[in-house]
Structure 1
């Protein structure tokens, strides 16, 4: 997984290398700001000459300026690389999700996907922006310190410092290593579940309020929050132990240097200058080794998030683009014919067969209805026709061609689905209407609104078509939202139009008027999915579906 994580940064390798180099110089300057005064004090203690005050001040100012400039260069290059990587990761995730859509939303949930696109990507970015370069310097600076200590106070001092550095690194990495990975994975999954719960509650806020289920839903969120809190407490304990180890190794190093160095000073093998310089190397090296502590925090989170993103990216799509796709053009004769041939289907992960041996043919321009009780498989027919899923058996055909051989773009350009609970995007009513055909004229927009019985509602709005319906259409009634979606469907003028319970939120008079205007509004092949008998008086063919089995049904007599 670490290899996979590093492979993500190939495009930003140059900037990350620059960031690491700048950080190395920054830490060297910071170390020099401690070591140079220690050297001066040691020289004074031994009665040796030191540079003049002006020179000392100039050196200290120069080191401080160099540290500031290289620190800026480190942050600029590191964050430039990280933000470029952030963009690449989100674009890459989006590109990976396109072949998985729309089935991925149904199987994983929009909240979990949003959590992956935000929190998981951010955690991977933090690893590269704040961890990768510091870890490199966490190796280079201690090695340089060991080398300098060996030169000044002998190999024994260098070996002692090296042993302490290695023990400190092992402790900082090893404390809670296994539990950190497990906890981070748990936190990633729990945050995804929490995001999904919140997303579901926002979408169903009206039902939750009506049923008085606020406490029940809040309890589910509290339970997930408690799980996150428990994981956070475990993480905090590990971080506290690492912080203690981060301070403890410095105390041990200083004590060891004094223990080894004082006898060397008394024996005349080294002077106070060398001892003070070696002592100064310990706090001078501490900022570099602190990156190891940060690694123990960020690496498990980054690995867990990267694993989650990789799992999402490598998920097999429910449907795949054909290797030699067939294009079905809307103007072709027969482009609007729809057939189901011995189609059987069950949703992945379940044993229940939703459709069984379905045979159905709808001719171009025909208006057909599929009726049945909730859960009987009506909407599944629409999902199969638009290739949200593929059947386990049989063929679904458009214009006489198995849709598995048709380009997905071409297939979905030929079919429009108007759902019972339509999705409205942020923006105005006009922008929602133009979602499928942005080049539509004002006259075409108004004609579609008249056909959907929406013109009166728009006329009553102060800003007309430029009215904003609010988040998820909150300012519109259920019936208005359905009629808006229907007008959008008419405006697209695709050869096949699927209307899934689109009059369920309408009063009987509006429903009757919508159905009366439909023949004038569209010449498409219309498949109406419904359980209201009122719509059946306006269709040519009726099919009834029951427990996955489809059969032709008698239409009610006019006026029935």
Structure 2
């Protein structure tokens, strides 16, 4: 069983529904055990020729099956609720963090890779938390208890089952490191392909104009081939894991059957005990088989967990320690005082001792060739980065003294290339001010 700290942290946001889903799963397990006991009694009576009281027992088996079906439906609905809660809260957390980081703080991350983490990675967390974790708890609790019950009936059978259970549970852990490495390689390949596809779609017009569609297609084909190789490599390790588990399950069951038959032949075990032993031997391995199935469903979440943790814990480019609320009745004065700034990784400074004043109530134009630092000035004004030296003030107060939200709310940016979200014009305009009336929207549109 692999328990990733980041995924366990996500699971804590839905303790109640996850707890209820686990309790219902335990109740379903109890119905399997009840059915096993009832069938053992039925077979024992048939073996003794006592068929008079079979009807009540068979009705009891039918009732157990119906109860299990109802519990199964309730458990699935509860698990879906728990998974949706985890998924929504995790995405909200990641999106809030992404918004707090600012555009310049994640220049090393590609949009397609971030999208893969936010969408596909979080979906994998859903399956891991809602299906794998409850089953892991059942698997940790049920087989040891059943092993004790088997030992009370036939100690030698318990010994055979115990060895098989140890092999089924801990044998695959020999490959955990290799599986984790293969999983990371698979996720990295998937992220790279997702990023390339998104960039190709967004820049299709440019690629066509430059005649570069063919070259980009070749790169995407190479990325796809790399993802295929990583997927196959991960599957090879996963199949070894599954094969070892299946070998332990089948071998342990067969060994228990042989011991039960030997015990019945020598008269050490009565007919009811023999049949019960056979039924419990199968039930010992049911949680392990179910865990293996849920593990494969939720492994995508484990692969994406490191990326999710990196995004959730990423530090913003600037600290939001300001306490002043930026409220200006009129356009304020803006000053840059001996400002120095160099972009990370750059050899030359973007701004080197820049000093100027944009007077209140007047239009100040800053012109210059591409790369002169015009966008950098705006970035520093919005505190997407802080200058290495010097000060930026608005209305006589340093920008660092304002809270980030209020500072950015007080500055309107009209970009040369405007991005429209897939929504109505009114919804796009209300992004900055959700409570704006239709009249205010019309006035803002006319002004723009």
TM-score by length of 1: 0.73
Does 2:442 align with 1:445? yes
Match of 1:213 in 2: 212
CA contact (8 A) 1:173 1:292 kept: no
* Aligned residue among 19, 37, 40 for 2:39: 37
Match of 1:466 in 2: none
CA contact (8 A) 2:127 2:298 kept: no
State how 1:134-283 maps to structure 2 within 5 Å.
Answer: 134-153=135-154, 155-174=155-174, 176-283=175-282
| Alpha-carbon distance in structure 2 between the residues aligned to 1:260 and 1:441 | 81
CA contact (8 A) 1:384 1:391 kept: yes
| Alpha-carbon distance in structure 2 between the residues aligned to 1:257 and 1:443 | 78
Match of 2:412 in 1: 416
CA contact (8 A) 1:34 1:280 kept: yes
Question: RCO greater where, 1 or 2, for CA within 8 Å and sep 6 or more?
Answer: 2
CA contact (8 A) 2:157 2:256 kept: yes
SS of alignment partner, residue 317 of structure 2: coil
What are the ranges of 5 or more consecutive residues in structure 2 without an aligned counterpart? none
Match of 1:556 in 2: none
SS of alignment partner, residue 412 of structure 2: strand
CA contact (8 A) 1:345 1:391 kept: yes
State how 1:218-367 maps to structure 2 within 5 Å.
Answer: 218-294=217-293, 296-297=295-296, 301-323=300-322, 325-332=323-330, 335-367=331-363
Match of 1:532 in 2: none
Structure 1 298/351 Cα, relative in aligned 2: closer, same or farther at 3 Å?
A: farther
What are the ranges of 5 or more consecutive residues in structure 1 without an aligned counterpart? 450-489, 492-560
Give 1:88 shift. Answer: 1.4
CA contact (8 A) 2:160 2:255 kept: yes
| Alpha-carbon distance in structure 2 between the residues aligned to 1:344 and 1:184 | 44
Match of 2:422 in 1: 426
* Aligned residue among 20, 23, 48 for 1:21: 23
Match of 2:96 in 1: 95
CA contact (8 A) 2:161 2:253 kept: no
Instruction: Encode CA deviations 1:252-308: one digit per residue, 9 max, x unaligned.
Output: 123312443333223221134323322222333333111442465466543342321
CA contact (8 A) 1:341 1:395 kept: yes
Give 1:399 shift. Answer: 1.5
RMSD between aligned alpha carbons?
2.6
**Across the two proteins, how many residue pairs are aligned to each other?**
445
* Aligned residue among 400, 403, 418 for 1:404: 400
| Alpha-carbon distance in structure 1 between the residues aligned to 2:425 and 2:24 | 52
CA contact (8 A) 1:169 1:292 kept: no
Q: Which has the higher strand share?
A: 1
SS of alignment partner, residue 340 of structure 1: strand
Instruction: Encode CA deviations 1:224-260: one digit per residue, 9 max, x unaligned.
Output: 2222211211222233223333432233123312443
Structure 1 54/357 Cα, relative in aligned 2: closer, same or farther at 3 Å?
A: same
Higher Cα radius of gyration = 1
SS of alignment partner, residue 215 of structure 2: helix
